[in-house]
Amino acid sequence: MASLQEIGVAAAINLISAFAFLVAFAFLRLQPFNDRVYFPKWYLKGIRSSPKGSGPLVRKFVNLDYKTYIRFLNWMPAALKMPEPELIDHAGLDATVFIRIYLLGLKLFVPLLFLSFTVLVPVNWTGGTLEKSKDLNFSDIDKLSISNIPQGSKRYWTHVAMAYVYTFWTFYVLYKEYKIVTTMRLSFLAAESRRPDQFTVLVRNVPPDPDESVSEHVEHFFCVNHPDHYLLHRVVYNANHLADLVAKKKKMQNWLTYYQNKCERNFGKKQVIKTGFWGLGGAKADAIEYYTAEIDRLSKQEAAERERIISDPNAIVPAAFVSFKTRWAAAVCAQTQQSSNPTIWLTQWAPEPCDVFWKNLAIPYVELTIRKLLMAVAMFFLTFFFMIPIAFVQSLANLKQIEKYLPFLKPLIEVNTVKGLIQGFLPGIALKIFLILLPTILMTMSKIEGLTSLSSLERRSAAKYHLFILVNVFLGSILTGSALQQLQTFINRPPSELPEIIGKAVPMKATFFITYIMVDGWAGIAAEVLRLVPLVIFHLKNTFLVKTEKDREEAMDAGCLAFATSEPRIQLYFLLGLVYSLTTPILIPFIIVFFAFAYMVFRHQIINVYDQKYESGASFWPDVHKRLLIGLVISHLLLMGLLSTNEFKKASPILIALPVLTVWFHLFCKGRFESAFVKFPLEDAMVKDTLERATEPNLNLRNYLQEAYVHPVFKGGEFERPPAIYEEENNPLVPTKRNSHRSSKHESDVDASSDAGF
Amino acid sequence: MASLQEIGVAAAINLISAFAFLVAFAFLRLQPFNDRVYFPKWYLKGIRSSPKGSGPLVRKFVNLDYKTYIRFLNWMPAALKMPEPELIDHAGLDATVFIRIYLLGLKLFVPLLFLSFTVLVPVNWTGGTLEKSKDLNFSDIDKLSISNIPQGSKRYWTHVAMAYVYTFWTFYVLYKEYKIVTTMRLSFLAAESRRPDQFTVLVRNVPPDPDESVSEHVEHFFCVNHPDHYLLHRVVYNANHLADLVAKKKKMQNWLTYYQNKCERNFGKKQVIKTGFWGLGGAKADAIEYYTAEIDRLSKQEAAERERIISDPNAIVPAAFVSFKTRWAAAVCAQTQQSSNPTIWLTQWAPEPCDVFWKNLAIPYVELTIRKLLMAVAMFFLTFFFMIPIAFVQSLANLKQIEKYLPFLKPLIEVNTVKGLIQGFLPGIALKIFLILLPTILMTMSKIEGLTSLSSLERRSAAKYHLFILVNVFLGSILTGSALQQLQTFINRPPSELPEIIGKAVPMKATFFITYIMVDGWAGIAAEVLRLVPLVIFHLKNTFLVKTEKDREEAMDAGCLAFATSEPRIQLYFLLGLVYSLTTPILIPFIIVFFAFAYMVFRHQIINVYDQKYESGASFWPDVHKRLLIGLVISHLLLMGLLSTNEFKKASPILIALPVLTVWFHLFCKGRFESAFVKFPLEDAMVKDTLERATEPNLNLRNYLQEAYVHPVFKGGEFERPPAIYEEENNPLVPTKRNSHRSSKHESDVDASSDAGF
């Protein structure tokens, strides 16, 4: 266990590195040639464009105005300035609600911090066990924690009572937040203008019919079963191969541009490349000729494939987007069962056109079930056998162990700064490396499971990631670390004693988690704002590929909030906060700093940087709520384990009520709010329909919906997300404009796709 | 542990008692004056009527035809004769599917028996542990069980392999059965003729409106949101007080009839009664005058109450039955969410008119949630604190304990027959008494929870009862019994060792469960067929109350299949079978006898006796399926516990896959079949609508539906279930008639209620 001094060193290191990141950010973001890295959202919205000033050339690349450097932390208050309704208009509801999670962390833990330090810390401090037993190695932090209270002491009643107080406070905060988010979602949906997905239902598992094609079968089925409401449908082509071709061609085009640019700069000198594997072997050829030929070849293949898909009935998968005359009818069709066999004619709300994950629309039901089983098994193995490498790395983080097994390092480790450094960085970074590898695997697994929209894929991956973090980061860190500390005794115990062992280990691991919060949380957030990777990539692209303004637009990588990875990580902080608020309250301030810092940074990012791929209307909130409650239940169980190892078993019957109450609270909230996130009420649909009929009696809905759900490769190679036409804005950072035109995006979407020439 | 001889004695006793019940039944049922007790269903269907022969008077009461007595077991083949489609027509789908549960038991366990006796029993028998250790008290049964295998032996691999075989066999049987039942339900629903509930949706939690009454508010809401489909609605009156008055008046009427009859028999002698509490105190009065006056008073009160309910707007509860023009529209409304607030305008399929539980329609949403929490807590306490009395009774059932603490009983107990008697009866009966008390409590709890139909109340109670049986009968019996046997060691162990302790105790409790099966199963079923309680009550009523043929009709108590109590009990047998098929296969034959006997008896009962109160179309099957799988998972966990106590922990990773697979199988079946039991597909609704429009274009649906959902007290005091008009039948026991008129019930229902004069 580390002493207060050691934690101080680690905190200082982390604070300094975070500060360094911030200074670097402040400097880099003021340079005009980085503008597209740090303010891409404004470019995408069409409010900013590349500097075309009449000043000297250098002004285009370097900011020479020294005044701006003085106010280099100005972005922080600026980020907090934009009011929430405007933020929803500007960044979308998903992003706005996402940063509310950080705010929720503050709302939850600031009062808990206050309570812990006025009630629990004095009780713990005066417990006085650790001072008596001289043989134990303890530090000041332990004296603040529950470990300082003697076994079976009546002082534990304080913790039991506080467990109740904390739980009810959590309920209150969560209930209020769920209510607010629900209201936000409903008013967001109500304010939304006409969108194709409001009228459309995704139908999957169309049963094969010997006499009819899929298209005819769908049309007949819906004409019969929704006679007054059916408008049109669009079958789904299996264009996976075509999409591959298009992607390949685009890559070739990039290389062609690269060599053309190079050629121009070298005054027409020929560029020779090797055409073999990865450019390492094979015959030499002129680069421009080679790529032009390749692109030509691919274009022909692509055209042939296009032809084949449109003419071949086997290229049509048994799925379709069915559009209705009214939102009411679409809501009805999405919420009802069509056939007595629940595995065919499956209907669900169509995702937004840009949210559709096209590859998975083609999977038949039986295959889907098998895939799900396989992925569940794979997830099980991934979760439980990933622990072995982590255990090894964790064991390194224990200084005592290192000194024992690598005694020659002892003199180095004994230096206080080095000691702090190792304890501050090593365990956190080891975990971090594992975690970086993971999201891609999990997303691939979710894709195999066959979900049909990007938003649901992200939610699914987040659930997997959460499980993984829970088992491997949280339980894994607690258990393996203790296992090495307790060595002999641990191996001989049956796994059924897990809760008690964990309960015992929890307060001992407080220091580890404090350093983890600093490395993963503080420094991680500071790195997020700096955007090093997009910065480098943008400048590389800008140097080698960009010829026109449009190219530069494409070279810009705005990125987006990665719900699948960020949310489960936040949940870990919530879990740590809930668990340690009762046992080692000293951890809470570190979490509060994390939440406050993250809230500010991400608010800045969603305003200036991120460009969300889709808008799901905060449909992830039920998951966030549920996982927070899972964390709460875990904190209850650990407290029970801890108290029973400390011979205070009489509190268990009183504590058991807490998880029961939590489960009930979950069900209550689910009943009260969840349907707002999964269903679309008929009343609201009817209101919108009626309003529309009154305001636009001559609307040609058929034309409007005809081309909405066309596979993106048939639209010209990729999702078209053209900039909407906005009025010019003067304030470049956090402009305030009430009447943003988020809603006009889709009309322009249609225009753009016709521009694209397909 | 009992020896084979002791079990033999117990089995003989139980078989003799069961046989005695059967002989008594065979004798009683042939007497014409018991006809209405043993064949009430045929009376209710109008096929049988009271004997009006021209023969001697005695023939009306006693059967003198000696030939019929010789073939006294004839009812058994007769019960099996009726083919299933006809059984559905005759007894309804609920009853038909219910007895299929017993058949499922046979299908499941007969092959398991075969496998167990060819594979597991030889492996166990030659294990040879018990013969070596002379200090242990063991019997022949133990030699057949898993206890005979030495610790850590490789023989356990056989059990692990068989666990897989058994699990997959169970999957196969369950899947097939779920498929059959689903098909039966769907064709049953498709064949059903027009019924009010097909067009009607129950709307609850109508929000209060300051300007409109509930009725107006409902009408406006549905006119707006289902404009082309809404037909009519009927508000629900809070007639609970009126229903009480009606019930009270009916009771008084019964007493009046009783005294009038008594008076007649005593040639007009006045009957004096005391009018105080329970007829024990108070002033004396003439019985007939007193009851006439009372009835008069109640009639007036009733009339006033009726008046008040109809005129008082506060007597209308915020719920309504809304009927639509088509089944399609009703299906849409029942399956969709109406308002963005999911706690108001709650829609669900209306239950059959005779399935509605009127009292609960009036509960607002918030109260409902609180009630559910309270009932969950109550259920928790009921389940976990009921164990204390059971533990006491169980301890008595252990002969060794009795001899130890009550040594003066020793000579009596040592007599072999007495020993068998005590072991055969005591533990079973003690449990039985507890179980008889329980269903009423559980049903009351379910009613408090606020479910709106009798069928859902029964399903809910069944779930509660299942939990109770699982914890208290199964786990309770295993644990407490063992606790007393292990005395010292047990108290010192933490509760986390539960699985291992249970695993160890399971084979030791085999004898107890064998006797339980005999007493509760065999004798219980035999008692069911005898119908002692209805027999006595019918003859009492017949003697004292019956004046007209109609009175006799009312005195008849056909009873019905009590799903809430029977199904969880069957589940206990499934659980025992699944658990013991792997550890102590000798238990399986007893279970098979139970299932075979029960199948026969209940098939006879549903043909000749039971009159189901409602028809839910086998909607309980998903519950049955789920609970069976819960039993399967428990058997896996116990096997894992057992093997790990026997130092065979290396099998645990292999066995853990079984519960995972089971959960997956549950989800698979849920996705594949469950929606057939909870939703009504639009396609089927549309087919029926179209057919009806073609065959009956001039149907006046408004008239048909107008009076369907009127509170029964407004219809004349109770549910009207008049006999349908059937053709005369010659075979009185198991007649075969393909074209039964189950479907004509409802038309006659309407006729009858107009006959009733309201």
User: What value of ipTM does the predicted structure carry?
Assistant: 0.73
For residue A595, which of A177, A114, A106 has the smallest C-alpha distance? A106
Q: Are A577 and A591 in contact (CB under 8 A)?
A: yes
Contact of A233 with A319, CB cutoff 8 Å: no
Note whether B228 contacts A228, CB cutoff 8 Å: yes
Mind telling me how many Å the CA of B335 is from chain A's nearest CA?
A: 6
Task: Choose, out of B682, B687, B688, the residue to mutate when testing the contact with A (most A CBs < 10 Å).
Answer: B682
* Residue % of chain B over a pLDDT of 70: 75
Residue A222: CB atoms within 10 Å = 26
Shortest Cα distance from B82 to chain A (angstroms)? 29
Neighbours of B735 (CB within 10 A): 17
pLDDT at A266: 73
pLDDT tens digits, B65-89:
666 666 666 777 777 788 888 888 8
What CA–CA distance (Å, rounded) separates B12 from B9? 5
Residues of B in contact with A369 (CB under 8 A): 668, 671
Please check whether residue A112 is in contact with residue A588, taking contact to mean a CB–CB distance below 8 angstroms.
yes
Question: How confident is the model at residue B219, as a pLDDT?
Answer: 87
Q: What does the pLDDT read at residue B600?
A: 87
- Give the pLDDT confidence score for residue A624 in this predicted structure: 92
Answer positive or negative: Cα dihedral of A280, A283, A284, A285.
negative
Cβ–Cβ of A686/B224 closer than 8 Å? yes
How many Å from the N-terminal Cα to the C-terminal Cα in chain B? 66
B705-724 in b/e form (b: 16+ CB < 10 A) is bebbbbbbbbbbbeebebeb
Q: Whose CA is closest to A225, among B182, B183, B189, B690?
A: B690
The nearest alpha carbon in chain B to A649 belongs to B494
Position A144 scores a pLDDT of 74
**pLDDT surpassing 60 at residue B551:** yes
Q: Which residue has the tokens 């709300």?
A: A349
Q: Do B686 and A377 touch (CB under 8 A)?
A: no
Residues of chain B that touch chain A, judged by Cβ-Cβ distance less than 8 Å: 186, 221, 224-226, 228, 328, 331-332, 335-340, 342-343, 345, 369, 373, 376-377, 380, 494, 496-497, 499-500, 660, 664, 668, 671-676, 679-684, 686
The predicted pLDDT at position B152 comes to: 74
DSSP-derived letter for residue B126 is T
B336 to A337: CB separation less than 8 angstroms, yes or no: no
The structure tokens listed for B531 are 């119908």
pLDDT at A482: 39
* Contact by Cβ (8 Å): A380, A467: no
Identify the burial level of B52 via C-beta atoms within 10 angstroms of its C-beta, where 0-12 means exposed, 13-18 middle and 19 or more buried. exposed
Q: What is the pLDDT of chain B when averaged over all its residues?
A: 76
DSSP B324-368: ESSHHHHHHHHHS--SSSTTSSEEEEPPPGGGB-GGGGG--HHHH
Rounded CA-CA distance A243/A358 in Å is 10
How far are the Cα atoms of A138, B244, B654 from residue B308, in angstroms, in the given order? 77, 15, 69
Dist CA B136 CA B133 (whole Å) = 6
Higher pLDDT: B405 or B564? It is: B564
Cα gap B753→B758, rounded to integer Å: 7
Q: Phi, psi at residue A680, to the nearest 5°?
A: -120, 110
In this prediction, residue A105 carries a pLDDT of 93
Ramachandran assignment for B716, one of left (phi > 0), alpha (psi -120 to 50 degrees), beta (any other): left
pTM (two decimals): 0.76
Per-residue pLDDT tens digits for B340-387: 887 888 888 888 888 888 888 877 777 888 888 888 888 887 877 765
CB-closest option in A342, A668, A675 to B337: A675
What would you report as the CA-atom Rg of chain A, rounded to the nearest whole angstrom? 29
Residue-wise pLDDT for B300-328, tens only, equals 888 888 888 877 777 788 888 888 888 88
What length does chain B have? 758
Contact across the interface for B338 and A672, Cβ inside 8 Å: no
Neighbour-count burial of A250, counting CB atoms closer than 10 A to its CB (0-12 exposed, 13-18 middle, 19+ buried): middle
Residues of A in contact with B684 (CB under 8 A): 340
Q: Do A337 and B681 touch (CB under 8 A)?
A: yes
CB contact under 8 A, A684 and B340: yes
Which pLDDT does position A280 carry in this prediction? 62
| Three-class HEC string of A502-521 | HHHHHHHCHHHHHHHHHHHH
CA distances from B365 to B206, B411, B459 (A): 10, 64, 21
- Indicate the range of A435-449, B374-388, B444-458, B482-496 predicted with least confidence: B482-496
Give the tokens for residue B410. 């020793």
Supply the DSSP symbol for A356.
B
Above 60 in pLDDT, residue B492?
no
Contacts for B159 with CB less than 8 Å, ≥ 6 apart: B120, B123, B146, B582, B583, B639, B643
From chain A, the residues in CB contact with B683 under 8 A are: 221, 224-225, 338-340, 345
List of chain B residues whose C-beta atoms are within 8 Å of the C-beta of residue A683? 221, 225, 338-340, 345
* Secondary structure of B500-563 in HEC code, one letter for each residue: HHHHHHHHHCHHHHHHHHHHHHHHHHHHHHHCHHHHHHHHHHHHHCCCCHHHHHHHCCCCCCCH
Q: What angle do CA A632, A634, A635 make, to 5 degrees?
A: 65
Predicted confidence at residue B682, as pLDDT, reads: 83
* Residue A581, token pair as written in the block: 């608020």
Residue at A148: amino acid letter? N
**pLDDT tens, residue by residue, B114-165:** 988 888 888 877 776 655 555 445 566 667 777 777 777 778 888 888 899 9
Closest CB from B186, B664, B679 relative to A337: B679
**Least CB-CB distance to A668: which of B369, B497, B675?**
B369
Could you say which of B186, B373, B496 has the minimum Cβ distance to residue A499? B496
Say how far apart CA A392 and CA A426 lie, in whole Å.
12
pLDDT at residue number B479: 66
Put simply, the answer to whether A331 touches B332 (Cβ < 8 Å) is no
C-alpha triplet B285, B287, B292: angle, nearest 5°: 105
Higher pLDDT, B473 or B332: B332
Say yes or no for a CB contact (<8 Å) between A340 and B660.
no
Number of helical (H) and strand (E) elements in chain A, helices listed first: 37, 6
A41: number of Cβ within 10 Å:
22
| pLDDT one-digit tens code per residue, B270-288 | 667 776 666 666 677 777 7
Q: Which amino acid is at A379?
A: M
Name the region of B617 (left: φ>0; alpha: ψ -120 to 50; beta: rest): left
Q: Which of A494, A138, A200, A501 is nearest to A325 (CA)?
A: A200
Q: How many CB atoms lie within 10 A of CB B750?
A: 16
Distance from CA of A688 to the nearest CA of B (A): 12
CA-based nearest distance A373→chain B, Å: 7
The position carrying tokens 């059916």 is A230
Residue A703 distance to chain B (closest CA, Å):
26
- What are the Cα distances from residue B663, in Å, to A106, B107, B226, B658? 39, 22, 40, 9
Q: A interface mutation test: which of B223, B226, B337 has the most A CBs within 10 A? A: B337
Task: In whole angstroms, give the CA distance from residue B186 to residue B189.
Answer: 5
**According to the model, what pLDDT value does residue A745 have?**
40
Average pLDDT on B543-561 reads 71
CA pair distance B666, B661, nearest whole angstrom: 9
Q: Residue A356 in contact with residue A453, Cβ under 8 Å?
A: yes
Is the CB of residue A510 less than 8 Å from the CB of residue A503?
A: no
Q: Look at strands A272-274 and A316-324 and give their pairing.
A: unpaired
Nearest CB neighbour to A664, from listed B340, B376, B496: B376
Using 50 as the pLDDT threshold, list the residues of chain A that sit under it: 1, 53, 135-136, 481-492, 494-496, 717-758
Of all residues in chain B, the one with the smallest CA distance to A661 is B373
Q: What is the DSSP letter of A33?
A: G
The two tokens of residue A633 are: 């239940």
Confidence category of residue B629, pLDDT binned at 50, 70, 90? very high
CB contact under 8 A, A671 and B499: no
Least confident residue range of A387-396, B446-455, B667-676: A387-396
Alpha-carbon distance of A623 to A121, in angstroms, equals: 33
